[in-house]
Structure 1
Amino acid sequence: MKKSILLPLLLTCNFMAARGETQSVQDRVAIGRAVQAVVWGMPAVNTDLMLQAALKAGAKENEIVYWSRPVDWHNQTLTPNPDAIYFMPFFNTKQGPVVLEVPPAGQDGSITGNIDDLWQMPLEDAGPSGADKGAGGKYLILPPAWHGRIPAGYIVLRSPTYSGYALIRSTLRSHSDTDVAKAVAYGKRLKLYAFASTSSPTRFVDAADVLFDSTIPYDVRYFQSLDRIVQREPWLERDKVMIDQLKSIGIEKGKPFAPDANSVEKLNEGAREAHEWIEHRSERAYPPYFPNTHWVVPAASELVQDASKGYTAQNIYPVDARAIVYSMGYVGIKRLGAGQFYLMSWQDRNGDALDGGQRYRLTVPPNAPMRQYWSATAYSRATHALIKDLPRASRSSQAADMEKNPDGSVDVYFGPESPAGHEKNWVPTRTGERFELLFRLYGPTQPLFDKTWALPDLVKITAQ
């Protein structure tokens, strides 16, 4: 550091020490470093919290957690899809490479899958829109710096971390018992086993009836999660700048994390400040996808591009953008738009926040650009999870009983009470709680990308 810069800093610190303000400076530094730790660590903490929920549900690493029916509010992950059958293999390669085997797509089923490292950096996509192109395949996940002979016939994924997970969505044609059972049976053809023991059976753990909570805790629990990650995983070269930052708030490899009461107070304050910043930025980070609407794609383009290439760009490392995305959702996608596409909104047509005590209508125009299905799902704005204790969270084109307008469009209604005559098209919300909306398209087609098809904003209904 240049003397001209260093001297004023030293003089300032000496002056504040003489006034008895040294502790205040230390406190502010600790809080500031806690804020940065929250922002930097978000995707890894998000993964760890899902793993902890899986362990609590009775699963172990290198086993597959699944939901034997479409998820309801008991699944408190971030913005899950209640119109798919979920399978989540949590892998750990510390004892050696692991194989995730995906069945071929066909009349009996298909998947949309994504395989991520701990930091939710996409290693590869799986299924028809992934590396196997629907033919099925054996994805070989290698530990960091692993060297060994690899036989032919594997899709090789070199992970910079030991642990990670895959999000596998078994395609659901409808919510009928028959189609649900078929999607579950197809998904259970997945295999997860050690490369060294190809004959070992895959264990599946059904989480359909448990509270599976991985919402982000903006307090000292966040740092407990971050400490687990530091203890278990190697430092990545791109992140070594954080070693001293974390050490200054009590997180250091090889040492226990045991903050005293004063430190806990500072960590809690730092987490709250980080939360406020993330929430403020989240609704301002993305441009409208369709002109003159409030629909956005909830991922910064530089993040999508850099993450899909392993964060190898020379002059960017979009940590802030990454924190915003993984504070409200999970999974990294290598080919965004190939298998699925997401649109998010926090506002109605007038730019007002979506209020669970009000009534709204979303008109989905005819000929929605997708090969599989579209869905519209409401989430709690506070937690980004499904709103608790409500009977359902979404309406989807999979629902055969939904009413359609004469032109083929569909009106979906949101509000605390069922609208008279439109019960089948209703998504319940809760009075006193803001909500956000995620519109998904699986198997998106060209009219979505060239925007010859556009989704209008929600309209507040002011009269019955």
Structure 2
Amino acid sequence: MYYRASLAVLALTFAYSSPALSQDATAASPYAFERGYPTPEATQKVRADALLQRALVAYRFWYPTVSVEGIFQGNRNVGIEDGKQWGIASTGPRQVGFTLNSDTPYGSGVLDLSNGPMVIELPEGAFIGLVDDHNQGWVQDMGLPGPDKGKGGKHLVLPPGYDGSVPEGYFVGRSTSIKNLIALRALPVGGDVKKALDGLRSVKIYPLAQADNPKPLEVIETTEKAMDSSSLRWEDNLQFWQVLHGVIDAETANPAFLPMYGLLAELGIEKGKPFNPDDRTKAVLEQAARQGRDQMLVSAFDSDRPDRKNWPDRQWEWAGLVADNAQFETPAGIDLEARDRWFAQAIVASPAMFRRDAGAGSLYWLGARDSSGAYLDGGKNYRLTIPQPVPGKLFWSVTVYDSATRSQVQTDQDKAALRSLFELKDVKGSEPLSLFFGPEQPKDSENRWIKTSPGKGWFAYIRIYGPEQAAFDKSWTPGDFEAVAP
């Protein structure tokens, strides 16, 4: 949980890094005062600057909230009702969502706690899952990285302020919101996707009040449906604030967020009150949405932090900058760069996702540049060399994402990943493996090429499931993307 003191510091830090205050420290104040009082022109400028500063702070802090609402809305748009159904899918490019993968079938849905605690009953199996609250704050892990360790069990999610009895025999998580996201993956052991989807179908989600006679949420498969489970349609315009107002109005207040609720009130967003900004405020909010989004994308794709790299001589970076921590906390406070970077390109947070040891369930490296340091270009052809064997007990993959949508690239190939369980299942031995990316397929590259689109940028994730120590201690090193002739 974010602590109140940390949030106050967070707000101030964001404000002092905003464009209105990013001036030469030796320059005179942009505001004119006479006899200690602001001139009318100074007051007008201060108020305009302060409104933009507050909007930028609010945008970056509440972005994860609007992002998770995008997941909920994506499900609603294909007929999955909150608290009544949940969706499962073997995802591909047709499912738009921040850095979704094609490796493991997904299950996702809304856990609605408005009528009391909810139970998630997992069978034994290769599941990786979590529950996050409406602000993408971590509630609990499930499956292999959770307390059941893949042996199955009943997980109980308690609503905010719950003071009722807690029955024995459950793994318990306490949420700070009424609506929560369940995100569950089933590992396709041996490449058996159908078995993995059937595993998700066997999961039971129901109210604790029905424990004696459960009526689980209905399972809806959306593998063949085009979906947009992102916040892309909202993130750079006034709808961002309208969606956020809807969440604030419907949810319980989180006591740890008091400074940030106060910030929203300055922008006209308050629980129980309509959101009707005037034209001037609308213009500022739209400006803040565009600038805030762009600031977060710089953190995602052009960070200058030395700790972003595992290998100093490679362009690959850690997708998540903070290890073993779902709330981006460090001894110095909240790591703002890490928080912005993660939620600009990805969804959900859990301590298990950011572990950097051989006990981690999976790891993620981000590649956005070629060996020369230039951003990857959809109009150019590249080779990537992966040393064999890859240090993963389970499987590994390379997935390609459109840099504008942070979702899998969409081309007539209808494929965005090269996976050890599928396209690369016949790779044997210890010889380095060459993979290819670009608009034109090289000769003799069947099942080793992903098509990209000229005029678009892209980036890639290397994922390793069940990573071994060599994935962390630098004794195994992937190549960089090398530009090659078509």
TM-score, normalised with respect to structure 2 = 0.85
Q: Which amino acid aligns with 1:78?
A: F
Q: Which amino acid aligns with 2:205?
A: L
Contact 2:75-2:229 at 8 Å conserved across structures? no
Of the candidates 88, 101, 113, which is equivalent to residue 108 of structure 2?
Answer: 88
Identify unmatched segments of 5+ residues in structure 2: 1-28
Distance in 1 (alpha carbons) for counterparts of 2:335 and 2:448: 39
- Is 1:275 aligned with 2:293? yes
Contact 1:369-1:453 at 8 Å conserved across structures? yes
**Deviation readout 1:140-162 (Å, 9 max, x if unpaired):** 00011101112211001111222
Contact 2:308-2:321 at 8 Å conserved across structures? no
- Is 1:249 aligned with 2:267? yes
Distance in 1 (alpha carbons) for counterparts of 2:399 and 2:31: 54
1:214 counterpart residue number: 230
More displaced, 110-119 or 96-105? 110-119
Q: How far did 1:114 drift?
A: 2.0
2:16 counterpart residue number: none
Distance in 2 (alpha carbons) for counterparts of 1:257 and 1:314: 38
Q: Mark the CA change 1:145 to 1:445 in structure 2 (over 3 Å): closer, same or farther.
A: same
Of the candidates 401, 414, 422, which is equivalent to residue 437 of structure 2?
Answer: 414
Contact 1:64-1:87 at 8 Å conserved across structures? no
- Is 1:265 aligned with 2:283? yes
1:445 counterpart residue number: 468
Distance in 1 (alpha carbons) for counterparts of 2:34 and 2:290: 27
1:426 counterpart residue number: 449
Runs (4+) of structure 1 moved beyond 6 Å? Answer: 8-11, 13-17
Contact 1:40-1:319 at 8 Å conserved across structures? no
In the TM superposition, what are the counterparts of 1:139-158 in structure 2 within 5 Å? 139-158=155-174
Distance in 1 (alpha carbons) for counterparts of 2:348 and 2:203: 19
1:195 counterpart residue number: 208
- Is 1:334 aligned with 2:354? no
Distance in 2 (alpha carbons) for counterparts of 1:74 and 1:115: 25
1:65 counterpart residue number: 86
Q: How far did 1:138 drift?
A: 0.7
Distance in 2 (alpha carbons) for counterparts of 1:84 and 1:128: 14
Which structure ranks higher in relative contact order (CA pairs < 8 Å, sequence separation ≥ 6)? 1
Q: Mark the CA change 1:458 to 1:314 in structure 2 (over 3 Å): closer, same or farther.
A: closer
Q: How far did 1:129 drift?
A: 2.5
Q: Secondary structure at the match of 2:476?
A: coil
In the TM superposition, what are the counterparts of 1:7-156 in structure 2 within 5 Å? 12=33, 18=39, 20=41, 22-68=43-89, 70-105=90-125, 110-156=126-172
Of the candidates 254, 258, 268, which is equivalent to residue 240 of structure 1?
Answer: 258
Contact 1:40-1:320 at 8 Å conserved across structures? no
Contact 1:405-1:411 at 8 Å conserved across structures? no
Distance in 1 (alpha carbons) for counterparts of 2:67 and 2:332: 26
Provide the alpha-carbon RMSD of the alignment: 2.4
Of the candidates 160, 168, 176, which is equivalent to residue 176 of structure 2?
Answer: 160
1:322 counterpart residue number: 339
State, as a whole percentage, how many aligned pairs show the same letter: 27
Q: Secondary structure at the match of 2:92?
A: coil
Of the candidates 189, 197, 200, which is equivalent to residue 184 of structure 1?
Answer: 197
Q: Mark the CA change 1:192 to 1:421 in structure 2 (over 3 Å): closer, same or farther.
A: same
Q: How far did 1:314 drift?
A: 7.7
Q: Mark the CA change 1:403 to 1:189 in structure 2 (over 3 Å): closer, same or farther.
A: closer
Identify unmatched segments of 5+ residues in structure 1: 1-7
2:10 counterpart residue number: none
Q: Secondary structure at the match of 1:423?
A: coil
Q: Secondary structure at the match of 1:48?
A: helix
1:293 counterpart residue number: 314
Distance in 1 (alpha carbons) for counterparts of 2:34 and 2:110: 48
Distance in 2 (alpha carbons) for counterparts of 1:190 and 1:319: 36
Q: How far did 1:123 drift?
A: 2.2
1:5 counterpart residue number: none
Q: Secondary structure at the match of 2:276?
A: coil
2:22 counterpart residue number: none
Q: Mark the CA change 1:28 to 1:103 in structure 2 (over 3 Å): closer, same or farther.
A: same
Q: How far did 1:188 drift?
A: 0.5
Q: Mark the CA change 1:15 to 1:225 in structure 2 (over 3 Å): closer, same or farther.
A: farther
Distance in 2 (alpha carbons) for counterparts of 1:275 and 1:363: 33
